[in-house]
Amino acid sequence: MSLSRPLRLGVNIDHVATIRNARGGEHPDPVRAAEIVAACGGDGITAHLREDRRHIRDDDLARIQAATDLPLNLEMAATEEMLAIALRHKPHAACIVPERREERTTEGGLDAAGQHNRLAPIVARLTDAGIRVSLFIAPEERQIEAALRLRAPVVELHTGEYAHASDEERATELRKLADMAALAAKNGIEPHAGHGLTYDNVQPVAAIPQVAELNIGHYLIGEAVFVGLEASVGRMRALMDAAR
């Protein structure tokens, strides 16, 4: 039997809103997705309110919070606008991500090391409001050290390089994730991980004992088109549990 702590699954429901917004109406509603996730074994809801509102909209946040008791993890850029929204909604957690308008998705980690002065007041104000701050960073030692200096209680390790690595590079990328999860935990920071995770690549990451939470979105919503959200979340949950 595994001695490591259970691994939480945060389901990112952004792309339910992407499909809704393709037609500009109300269907499919990300709130319904959040309710299904709550009913079928998800541990949290993750949503990224982007500057251009291309998927989640402001009013979705309050509706998601009203509809489920699951903790909401708000992904946000480090801007005054997003800070004000986070302070208004008071999600359980806020994950600070880098954001560039032209990118298709969050392409790299946050440069916590290079942006200390910009991030410090935002981390402090979120923390003072009782919001658990997470920094979405590449699995690099200098970024963990920067997270420590910023007093962030959580880092989310960007698994994109691992997910997109060639067969030859994958073991190296996995080792970086495992080493940085261990370094974070040793320093009292809770490591999470996410980006680009699928049924096929989730288990080696889920097996890293210090990782406490995975945040998974695009693949789960894509699979849900074929099998339904309950089934896609259930299968991911089972794969994660089997890896622990």
Pick the catalytic residue from 15, 158, 192, 195: 195
Site for ligand PXP in 63-122 (CB under 6 A): 75, 95, 97, 105-106
Catalytic site includes residue 164:
no
Structure tokens at 58: 């402001």
Site size toward ligand PXP (CB under 6 A) is 19
In this chain, which of 49, 113, 194, 202 binds ligand PXP, going by CB under 6 A? 194
Helix axes 116-128, 80-89, angle to 10 degrees: 10
Smaller CB separation from ligand PXP, 68 or 106: 106
Say whether residue 139 binds ligand PXP (CB under 6 A).
no
Crossing angle (nearest 10°) for helices 141-149 and 167-186? 30
Structure token pair of residue 27: 């269907």
Tell me, yes or no, if 48 is annotated catalytic.
yes
156 contributes a contact to ligand PXP by CB under 6 A = yes
201 forms part of the interface with ligand PXP (CB under 6 A) = no
195 tagged catalytic: yes
**Where in the sequence numbering do the catalytic residues fall?**
48, 75, 195
Residues that bind ligand PXP (CB under 6 A): 12, 14, 48, 75, 95, 97, 105-106, 136, 156, 194-197, 215-219
